[in-house]
Amino acid sequence: MRLESELPAWPQYGDEEREGLIRALEQGQWWRIGGGEVDAFEAEFAAAHGSEHALAVTNGTHALELALEVLGVGAGSEVIVPAFTFISSSQAAQRLGAVPVPVDVDPDTYCIDPAAVEAAIGPKTRAIMPVHMAGQMCDMDALGKLSADSGVPLIQDAAHAHGAQWQGKKVGELGSVATFSFQNGKLMSAGEGGAVLFPDAESAEKGFVRHSCGRPRTDRGYFHRTSGSNFRLNEFSASVLRAQLARLDDQITLREQRWPVLSRQLARIPGVVPQARDDRGNRNPHYMAMFRVPGITEERRAKVVDVLVERGVPAFVAFRAVYRTAAFWEVAAPDLTVDELARRCPHSEALTRDGFWLHHRVLLGSEEQMHEVAAVIADVLAGA
């Protein structure tokens, strides 16, 4: 059986994106210096996330690097990251010479386990980087307390969590730095792009200077006050992101309606366990529709994903535990073996084998399509 009707496409765009691109083109400045689009996008994005300080950057990986740099992370530092995440979590720390320390995630929400974070905090820990997995916010109460007690700052990786809320608070209202990605598949996109929310004006200014080769906004004399790099977003991308931001809220509302329908259907399939929701994350933008099939082998999972794609369902295998990649061991790796990390991170190990995700465009489909998608998954799992 195959999906009968096409699911909505992604990215979505319309006249607002077209008009934005023409506006950026015709204003005569295509970079942010002297242009209006990046400045306007930053103000709008900050306001939408309950923050006063947003900085647009080139991508979500650079957003993490910049956030770490502003917090003073560098060689000799340790950064606690979830083992189950996209590789940027550990790679951003390693690019600065810092050692990533992977810890396990919760087996139901797939978010970093605060008890594992607590156990990993040591004298060299300089940052804790929770990832709001697939839009489910991490336990920000427990992590906020750990951060306050230990004095180690949090960096919320909100690459999956545009518009998310924790107990009624927006990402920018939780008192920590937060980073976002706008790559092609993300909940808002300009093909590539990223942003950092800063909790205060001082760190925001540090971020600005470092993202612009160490130059303050007013520098005309090439003084380059600090080290840095060029992480500036361009005006075209910002014009598209302003239009994308205007679409976000309605899309979240729709996905919030569809996920309960899809997850209920998925839970009825023998062997399938959908990602659990911690309701304190009271607005979940649903970047991915995730589920596990405990006990499936990696080989069989890959086959199932191939067949799902053939049948019209945009399915993917879940992330690989970061320490199970070659990249992780190339620079600034912890003084631990894969076996030791695997022993410490049993849930990330399991997700590496048995995790699946569906593109969020599935959740922009009709209610009937949620039933169809689940029926195709059931059929493929029964037959593959």
- 83-323-179 Cα angle (round to 5): 45
Measured from the CB atom, is 29 or 183 closer to ligand PLP? 183
Measured from the CB atom, is 160 or 361 closer to ligand PLP? 160
Known catalytic membership, residue 232: yes
- Residue of 11, 60, 130, 365 that binds ligand PLP (CB under 6 A): 60
Whole-Å CA distances, 242 to 93, 171, 353: 29, 18, 38
Whole-Å CA distances, 177 to 136, 258, 282: 18, 30, 20
Known catalytic membership, residue 12: no
Measured from the CB atom, is 60 or 314 closer to ligand PLP? 60
Contact 134, 288 (CB under 8 A): yes
Q: Indicate which residue of 32, 162, 210, 232 is catalytic.
A: 232
Distance CA 80, CA 156 (A): 12
**Sign (positive or negative) of CA dihedral 180, 185, 189, 192:** positive
C-alpha distance across the termini of the chain, in Å: 12
Q: What is the DSSP string of 1-58?
A: ---SSPPPPSS---HHHHHHHHHHHHTS--SSTT-SHHHHHHHHHHHHTT-S-EEEES
Q: Binding of ligand PLP at residue 177 (CB under 6 A)?
A: no
Joined together, the tokens standing for residue 245 give 């931001």
Measured from the CB atom, is 86 or 291 closer to ligand PLP? 86
Q: Indicate which residue of 49, 126, 160, 353 is catalytic.
A: 160
Of 2-10, 54-62, 221-229, 366-374, the segment contacting ligand PLP by CB under 6 A is: 54-62
Which among 212, 289, 294, 303 has a CA at the least distance from the CA of 254?
289
Site string for ligand PLP, 85-124 (x = CB under 6 A): xx-x------------------------------------
Least spacing, CB of residue 270 vs ligand PLP, in Å: 30
Least spacing, CB of residue 275 vs ligand PLP, in Å: 15
As a three-state string, the secondary structure of 51-85 is: CCCEEEECCHHHHHHHHHHHCCCCCCCEEEEECCC
Distance CA 143, CA 124 (A): 18
Q: Indicate which residue of 222, 279, 335, 339 is catalytic.
A: 222
Q: Binding of ligand PLP at residue 159 (CB under 6 A)?
A: yes
Least spacing, CB of residue 187 vs ligand PLP, in Å: 11
Q: Quick one: residue 28, left, alpha or beta (phi over 0 = left, psi -120 to 50 = alpha)? A: left
Least spacing, CB of residue 121 vs ligand PLP, in Å: 21
Of 28-36, 57-65, 347-355, 356-364, the segment contacting ligand PLP by CB under 6 A is: 57-65
Measured from the CB atom, is 61 or 147 closer to ligand PLP? 61
Of 30-38, 84-92, 165-173, 268-276, the segment contacting ligand PLP by CB under 6 A is: 84-92
Measured from the CB atom, is 230 or 337 closer to ligand PLP? 230
Whole-Å CA distances, 103 to 80, 84, 183, 257, 372: 7, 8, 26, 32, 37
Least spacing, CB of residue 88 vs ligand PLP, in Å: 4
Quick one: DSSP state of residue 224?
A: -
Known catalytic membership, residue 186: yes
Q: Which single residue brings its beta carbon nearest to ligand PLP?
A: 60
Known catalytic membership, residue 113: no
Q: Which of residues 187-216 bind ligand PLP (CB under 6 A)?
A: 194
Q: Binding of ligand PLP at residue 181 (CB under 6 A)?
A: yes
For the annotated catalytic residues, the residue numbers are 86, 157, 160, 183, 186, 215, 222, 232
The site for ligand PLP (CB under 6 A) is made up of 59-61, 85-86, 88, 131, 157, 159-160, 181, 183, 194
